[in-house]
Amino acid sequence: MKNLILPCQRHLFDIPVDVAYLNCAYMSPLMTSVAQAGEEAIQAKRHPWGTGSEGFFTTSEEARGLFASLIGAQSDDIAIAPAASYGIATAAANIPLKPHEEVLVLAEQFPSNIYSWERLARENNATVHTIAAPTTTRQGPDWTPAILDAISERTRIVALPHCHWTDGALIDLKSVSEKAKTVGSALVLDLSQSLGALPINVAEIDPDFLIAPTYKWLMGPYAMGFLYVAPRWQEGRPLEENWIVRKGSQDFASLVDYEDAYQPGAKRFDMGERANFQLMPMAKRALEQLLDWGVENIAATLRVKTDALAKRANALGLLTGARDLRAPHFLGVRFPDGAPDGLLQHLASRNVHVSLRGTSMRVTPHLYNNEEDTDRLFGALEECL
């Protein structure tokens, strides 16, 4: 089925007409409906006598199911986690690493997907092998061949994103997963910078662990996220022991009849206070909207937007790399002579919001952006070139 190019959805957000917010990779703005879900949740907490205990088990289960649909998993394969670092730490606590084995990561990968591996390697006399950035040509970095090359008999864990957080350089996870399996390596994915805007199906990629916080491309609140745990790891060791993930926890009267058994599936990995009455309704509302738009359609629509941005950047002599090496929702813009001094401050003074990551100006639009935003960005950029 052909993907739809979705019309601008700015009316669902609270973004003033003169603000060009092109920084979803930093943090998405909340939709009005998501903010309302949060406000209603805060009001409900003012009067806790009005709610029964079933609230501990309803919204979180619905959100778990919605997240599962987003990645082609079963609800039972999903745990609730507050941050990318929590998901990566869970993976690191479960995947055995022997002396002299390797964890593969990318140069300048986000630290939440580095530090747990460094500790695991240190504690096991193993190594974190950092794959150097492939020489950046005008095309931009092509990571996949470099990753495939680096996977060897020593590789036990490949810990990656779907696209690099600095410039959106895309990784072909299917080829990486196939190669990793030939050497018996696990695949751990931090999808903070892609899930919700770049389709992925766990039936196709078969990762071991996959984490995504909700505050970027999942368009939800901060300090909430979801962790996919492949069925082969679901008997593993959670980072903490909390009461709600034990068998029979719905029966509040019997909570001190301590129970050894966990609830089935990935629930044992849920964070403490996973019901999070304030944030969970917001996460759920955002996931519903994403599923309603369709991630394939979001990706196709953002591709049109980043293509248009790339064309304007190229016309100014700026480099954006090869189209098929970058994710559809990301544009890394490089300045041949380096980024102008004070670039971000100047853009912000014109109500234009982007990020600078390494040498790359990261421009990350979403469905709320329109052509006026593009004009505002390039008007402000031309003033400082």
CB-neighbour burial class of residue 50 (10 A; exposed 0-12, middle 13-18, buried 19+): exposed
> Which residue, 211 or 313, has its beta carbon nearer to ligand PLP?
211
CB of 49 to ligand PLP, least distance (A): 34
213 binds ligand PLP (CB under 6 A): yes
Shortest distance, CB of residue 84 to ligand PLP, whole angstroms? 4
Tell me the one-letter amino acid at 330: F
DSSP-derived secondary structure for 301-316:
HHHHHHHHHHHHHHHT
Q: How far is the CB of 111 from ligand PLP (least distance, A)?
A: 8
For the CB of residue 1, give the shortest distance to ligand PLP in the complex, in Å. 30
Distance CA 174, CA 155 (A): 17
Q: List binders of ligand PLP among 171-210 (CB under 6 A).
A: 190, 192-193
Establish if 166 lies at the interface with ligand PLP (CB under 6 A).
Answer: no
Identify which of residues 106 and 380 has a Cβ nearer to ligand PLP in the complex.
106
Q: Report the C-alpha gap between 360 and 323 in whole angstroms.
A: 16
> For residues 56, 62, 68 and 73, what is the CA-based torsion angle, rounded to 10 degrees?
90
Least Cβ distance, residue 188 to ligand PLP (angstroms)? 12
* CB of 24 or CB of 31, closer to ligand PLP: 24
What is the spatial distance between Cα 210 and Cα 177, in angstroms, rounded to a whole number?
Answer: 13
Cβ atoms of 210 and 227 within 8 Å: the answer is yes
Tell me whether residue 84 or residue 91 sits nearer to ligand PLP (CB atom): 84
Residue in the block written with tokens 């990793």? 180
Whole-angstrom CA distances from 33 to 29, 70, 251, 274 are 12, 20, 33, 22
Which residues, numbered 85-114, are part of the site for ligand PLP (CB under 6 A)?
A: 85, 110, 112-113
Sheet with 209-213: list strands edge to edge. Answer: 78-81, 225-229, 209-213, 186-190, 155-160, 102-106, 127-131
Distance, CA of 226 to CA of 212 (rounded, Å): 6
Residue 84 lies near ligand PLP (rule: CB under 6 A): yes
Which of residues 274 and 376 has its CB atom nearest to ligand PLP in the complex?
274
Angle in degrees, CA 66, 72, 73, rounded to 5: 75
DSSP letter string over 292-358? HH-HHHHHHHHHHHHHHHHHHHHHTT-B---GGGB-TT-EEEB-TT-PPTTHHHHHHHTTEE-EEET
* Binding status of residue 289 toward ligand PLP by CB under 6 A: no
Q: Does 360 bind ligand PLP (CB under 6 A)?
A: no
Nearer to ligand PLP, 141 or 374 (CB): 141
Do the strands 360-363 and 355-357 form a parallel or antiparallel pair, or are they unpaired?
antiparallel
Cβ atoms of 298 and 367 closer than 8 Å: yes
The nearest distance, CB 109 to ligand PLP, in angstroms, is 7
Per CB under 6 A, the list member of 29, 38, 161, 328 interacting with ligand PLP is 161
* Contact in structure between 8 and 367 (CB atoms under 8 Å): yes
Instruction: Restricting to residues 15-74, name those near ligand PLP by CB under 6 A.
Output: none
CB of 223 to ligand PLP, least distance (A): 8
**Residue 226 CB, nearest distance to ligand PLP (Å)?**
12
The residue among 223 and 255 lying less far from ligand PLP, judged by its C-beta, is 223
The site for ligand PLP, by CB under 6 A, has a size of: 12
Min dist. Cβ of residue 85 to ligand PLP (A): 3
Among 56, 117, 143, 165, binds ligand PLP (CB under 6 A): 165
Residues 109-148 that bind ligand PLP (CB under 6 A): 110, 112-113
Q: Smallest distance, Å, CB 285 to ligand PLP?
A: 20
Residues in contact with ligand PLP by CB under 6 A are: 83-85, 110, 112-113, 161, 165, 190, 192-193, 213
